[in-house]
A and B are shown apart, each in its own frame.
Chain A
């Protein structure tokens, strides 16, 4: 192997790794706040990517209608759980978030959609759709069982993944889609060529890590989210709505997932079920980071990306095997290093 090939593989690995890092960060974020291992993270990726790709062809993606339907269910749940203390303000607030917001979004999409809609508008619409789905997914599937064990939450999470993946097939079909490039600029440095696309990937990943760090370290809302993760009862006792914390976590995760999807869909063809595998690689990074550490997760994700790039060069048939095998020594080491901790009852 010569240096040029090695540099290419490294570049490729780092670009993919940056995407995995974004997804890994979202997983850590959601687990920290809600104790949910977010298997449907991959669906946020596909939904974001394919909604964007469909909008670019001038079609209204089915995900927009799904958001409206989920909003209705969320509204019904809100009413049901608050039935003992129903008051106008609560109903109005719930209706605004769960009905008016997705309905307005759907209306906006019908008004704006077309083959000549600017890329930026399509991106914004795709992000809003997935954000709404993420928010309602928490409300419908996880908020009612927020107090249960990690295992129950995980099973619910797998269920959501299967349901969303099936719906993905309905909305996008079995054919893969590709989206238009975000930018056509390119920079050449020695033998390497950096496209505007990959530069956007690096920029956004670094930007998100810094933004998350600032958000969790310095803002009241960020600290409240951390507090919810550290001590749920303690958080409630100071008046933090832990359900709201969960919604914010899911909102952030779904937006991060959708952004990752939009970043990769111009480079690779995505199918309705591609997201799962991509999300799984972010999951490996998150596990290596112990589901708690953001920096460790980001570094691990880059390593996963590089290992994947090199193994696809040397033994492309075993690419996935090699990547997923990475998790084994980590788990063994972790189980040796940390004494077994009983899950806290709450």
Chain B
């Protein structure tokens, strides 16, 4: 199985501080892969570097294309899309304009059907379509950020902490939609602190600590790993220590 996204031996530094050290990962077509780990492990840094927001050392290929010479705009055109942690919406523009701009590189006729699809996935956005993005609730903003990314018809959607700061009921909704995306043929690379929810919907998982992957495997195996359970899932088995 050839990977859709392939990242090999990637190093990312902020000045002299190396935030990510020698990380490799693959995402196949129609797959949900999650990276879990504590705050500051380097997960967001890794996603940003894959998108081209930060420079990296190492090799990234997406859909068979070497990403190194491409800037963010060109990576978007190859079907790679990032929903960043801070969502980066166009706050003073309304919901529909935000979505329309998500399809900036897409033909108008295609964009119209994508818009219908996004409104079906997120009916709330349709209700609020004339409202300014900056005045939406946190959950609605997250939906809009995902909707905007989907308007560009990505092959792989990278989601950075989509559940951050949201009410549990909205988190459930967002994770349900992530599951639906796979059915629609979109692969997902999900970075999450809410490891429990992430492992439930993911096919495979990587565990990141201090800039390195310390564990990887099927989401089921990772969820069953006692160390992971103790560190990230909030279960403390009596008499056993965490990794």
* Chain A interfacial positions (CB closer than 8 Å to B): 84-85, 220, 223-224, 226-227, 230-231, 233-241
Is residue B152 contacting chain A, with contact meaning CB distance below 8 A? yes
- B82 neighbours in A (Cβ, 8 Å): 237
CB-based contact B76/A233 at 8 Å: no
Smallest CB separation, B86 vs chain A (Å): 9
Partner of A236, one of B73, B92, B152: B73
CB-based contact A84/B69 at 8 Å: yes
CB-based contact B73/A224 at 8 Å: no
Smallest CB separation, A134 vs chain B (Å): 23
- B51 neighbours in A (Cβ, 8 Å): 237
- A85 neighbours in B (Cβ, 8 Å): 69-70
CB-based contact A224/B101 at 8 Å: yes
- A224 neighbours in B (Cβ, 8 Å): 101, 104
Query: For the complex, what is the distance from the CA of A223 to the CA of B91, rounded to whole Å?
Result: 13
Query: For the complex, what is the distance from the CA of A234 to the CA of B102, rounded to whole Å?
Result: 9
List residues of B (70-120) whose CB comes within 8 Å of A's CBs.
70-73, 76-77, 81-82, 84, 87-93, 97, 100-102, 104-105
Query: For the complex, what is the distance from the CA of A238 to the CA of B84, rounded to whole Å?
Result: 12
CB-based contact A237/B105 at 8 Å: no
Partner of A231, one of B73, B77, B91, B105: B91
CB-based contact B89/A231 at 8 Å: yes
Beyond the given pairs A231-B89, A233-B53, A237-B88, 8 more chain A to chain B contacts, judged by CB atoms under 8 angstroms and listed by A's residue number, are: A220-B100, A220-B104, A227-B90, A231-B90, A234-B87, A236-B71, A237-B149, A238-B76
Q: Name, among A223, A233, A238, A241, the residue most crowded by chain B CB atoms within 10 Å (CB to CB).
A: A238
Is residue B43 contacting chain A, with contact meaning CB distance below 8 A? no
List residues of B (129-149) whose CB comes within 8 Å of A's CBs.
148-149
Q: A224-B101, A227-B101 are in contact. Are A241 and B90 (CB under 8 A)?
A: no
- B93 neighbours in A (Cβ, 8 Å): 223, 226-227, 230
* Chain B interfacial positions (CB closer than 8 Å to A): 51, 53, 69-73, 76-77, 81-82, 84, 87-93, 97, 100-102, 104-105, 148-149, 151-152
Residue of A nearest to B72 (CB): A236
Please name the 7 residue pairs, one residue from A and one from B, whose CB atoms are nearest each other, closest first: A85-B69, A234-B88, A239-B76, A239-B105, A236-B72, A230-B90, A227-B90
CB-based contact B92/A238 at 8 Å: no
- A226 neighbours in B (Cβ, 8 Å): 90, 92-93
CB-based contact A223/B73 at 8 Å: no
- B104 neighbours in A (Cβ, 8 Å): 220, 224, 238-240
- A223 neighbours in B (Cβ, 8 Å): 93, 97, 100-101
Q: A227-B90, A233-B84, A233-B88 are in contact. Are A238 and B69 (CB under 8 A)?
A: no
CB-based contact B53/A234 at 8 Å: no
CB-based contact A238/B101 at 8 Å: yes
Residue of A nearest to B103 (CB): A238
Residue of A nearest to B148 (CB): A238
- A233 neighbours in B (Cβ, 8 Å): 53, 84, 88
Query: For the complex, what is the distance from the CA of A235 to the CA of B100, rounded to whole Å?
Result: 12
Q: Name, among B76, B82, B149, B151, the residue most crowded by chain A CB atoms within 10 Å (CB to CB).
A: B76
Q: List 30 A-B contacts (CB under 8 A).
A: A84-B69, A85-B70, A223-B93, A223-B100, A223-B101, A224-B101, A230-B90, A230-B91, A231-B88, A231-B89, A231-B91, A233-B84, A234-B87, A234-B88, A234-B89, A234-B90, A235-B90, A235-B101, A236-B72, A236-B76, A237-B76, A237-B82, A237-B149, A238-B76, A238-B101, A238-B102, A238-B151, A238-B152, A240-B73, A240-B104
